[in-house]
Amino acid sequence: MTKNKLKTDFIVIGSGISGVRAAISASKYGKVLIVTKSKLESGSTKHAQGGVAVALSTKDNTKLHFADTISAGAGVCDPEAVWILVTEGLERIKELIKWGTEFDRQDGKLSFTKEGAHRKRRVIHAHGDATGQELERSLLEKVKSNKKINFKEHFFTVDLIVNDGKCYGIVGIDRNSGEKVLIYSKAVILASGGAGQVFLSTTNPLVSTGDGVAMASRAGAYIADMEFIQFHPTALALDITPRFLISEAVRGEGAILLNHSGKRFMENFPMKELAPRDIVAREIFYEMKRERKDFVYLDLSRISKSRILKRFPTIYKFCKGYNLDITKDPVPVVPSSHYLVGGVKTDYNAQTNIEGLFACGEVANVGIHGANRLASNSLLDGLVFGRRAGEMMNIFKKQKVIEVKNKLNLGKTSNQTFTKDRLKLQATMQKYVGIIRDKSNLKKSLRTVLMLKKKLNKAYLNIELLELQNLLIVGELIIKGALAREESRGSHFREDFPFTNDLQWKRHILFRKGRRIE
């Protein structure tokens, strides 16, 4: 196989909000290459409907945003990381507006909506429910006009090039030519997104296969809090892959949850349908189980038709395509895997324990989200810590790009397919490692994952296999974290340990190369 070698000052893996924002800052200190395994627009950013949580309203402040984030995180947020988020986030949004991002306004002022676990209307949005698309548009326009930033689309990053605890670049496959490519750099910023595809039901795009967590784990980076997987309470309950998201902002505007008897089952909970996501998702799960149904209903009848059409045009149009008129029809919804709360452990400047390797966005874990992410904090996270990662490239600007020997052997090309094995993993994770967990089922799932890992321990130049191997690493980390945490906290709920145990478990679970170290 032909091996190509490239050099650049800095590599960014991923073209979502965190990666693009990192590249903008990094470009001040050298040439940046953004690599992405599909198109630039194929990640999760554009799917974000609800908006960005930021305390810019005159009726809000950063202390309240901080308190709501800490509360939703169920006791294991890092307070300093949260404070960085809510304070620096103000400047990041003002910066976006300066760069041409068009957020919705009323009478010239920013419009705010409310989402789960927020005490104030602090979520800004764009084009009703197309916030992610607007952020992606404005940021990509910014980077495409920057002569120091280049792109390599359809490039599958297989592994990091790490030697003696330092990262020297990446090795990957050019999906157009099939060639193996070595790219050397002064530093690498990992911004590859989440891992929702480890579950059968997910709102994540097909590219979200946990590649960043897996390659960082193989390289020896610390991986933290993998048991915390956030399930979004309201994905459209139709046979669509991935699941279409019905934004939490819909409930923020007044929609309520009903069972098949037409009864509102969240009415007696504090904050009702706007309780933290873990609580709403669990109650929907239990209601489905009680009624022996595959979904519940989201009823928008309390919201005027004109308001729905103005605030949720994307959702309205999509549902209309499936003969659902959300202005009058109850919408069938089901919880689906949505956000990887855990990830590659970093400090406040996105630095991992490997020199020259940084991580930001959903792939990273800096401690903001604790055990359960507060709604609409993820885009702000990508902006704030993406910029911080990019700014850290300042310390490498005078260094040279060094080539080191890469030992990775990808083997021969194979056209073998692994669809059945991938579905087996996803179905196992969905059944045994979902919203409700227990020791017996977690052990069953671990046996299946380990069996699949052994079966698929092959070195093929086959991206389908490489993605599946990454998903298996992620799945194993999630299961081992869930087995270790013998309590219920945030998005992790153990039926055999249904209570929160601060005395023993108000802490993080860390892994290194698949082994628990804390």
When pLDDT is cut at 50, 70 and 90, the band that residue 46 belongs to is low
Amino acid at 11: I
Q: Which of 386, 440, 504 lies closest to 15, judged by CA?
A: 386
Q: Which H or E run includes 87?
A: helix 79-98
List, as one string, the DSSP characters of 175-241.
Answer: TTT--EEEEE-SEEEE-----GGGSSSBSS-TT-S-HHHHHHHHHT-EEE-TT-EEEEEEEE-SS-S
Residue 29 has pLDDT above 90, yes or no: yes
CATH code linked to domain 233-336: 3.90.700.10
Helix 131-144, helix 79-98: angle, nearest 10 = 70
- Give the span between the Cα atoms of 154 and 193, in whole angstroms: 16
Q: What predicted TM-score, i.e. pTM, was given to this entire model?
A: 0.95
- Residue 2, pLDDT score: 47
271 token code pair:
């904050």
- pLDDT, one tens digit per residue, over 50-77 is 789 999 999 999 999 999 999 999 999 9
* Highest CATH level, class, for 419-516: mainly alpha
What is the overall mean pLDDT for the chain? 93
Q: Which of 92, 243, 277, 311 is catalytic?
A: 277
> Could you confirm whether 277 is annotated as catalytic?
yes
- pLDDT, one tens digit per residue, over 68-109 is 999 999 999 999 999 999 999 999 999 999 999 999 998 899
User: What is the DSSP code (8-state) at residue 29?
Assistant: S
Residue 313 has pLDDT above 80, yes or no: yes
Cα dihedral 105, 107, 109, 112 sign:
negative
User: What is the DSSP code (8-state) at residue 316?
Assistant: H
Q: Which of 223, 162, 487, 489 lies closest to 345, judged by CA?
A: 223
- Residue 47, pLDDT score: 64
- pLDDT, one tens digit per residue, over 163-220 is 999 999 999 999 888 888 999 999 999 999 999 999 999 999 899 999 999 999 999 9
What CA dihedral angle connects 416, 417, 421 and 427, to 10 degrees?
Answer: 170
Phi, psi for residue 516 in degrees, rounded to 5:
-70, 130
- Residue 480, pLDDT score: 98
Inter-residue contact 434 to 199 (CB < 8 Å):
yes
Q: Where along the chain do its domains lie?
A: 233-336, 419-516
Inter-residue contact 259 to 294 (CB < 8 Å):
no
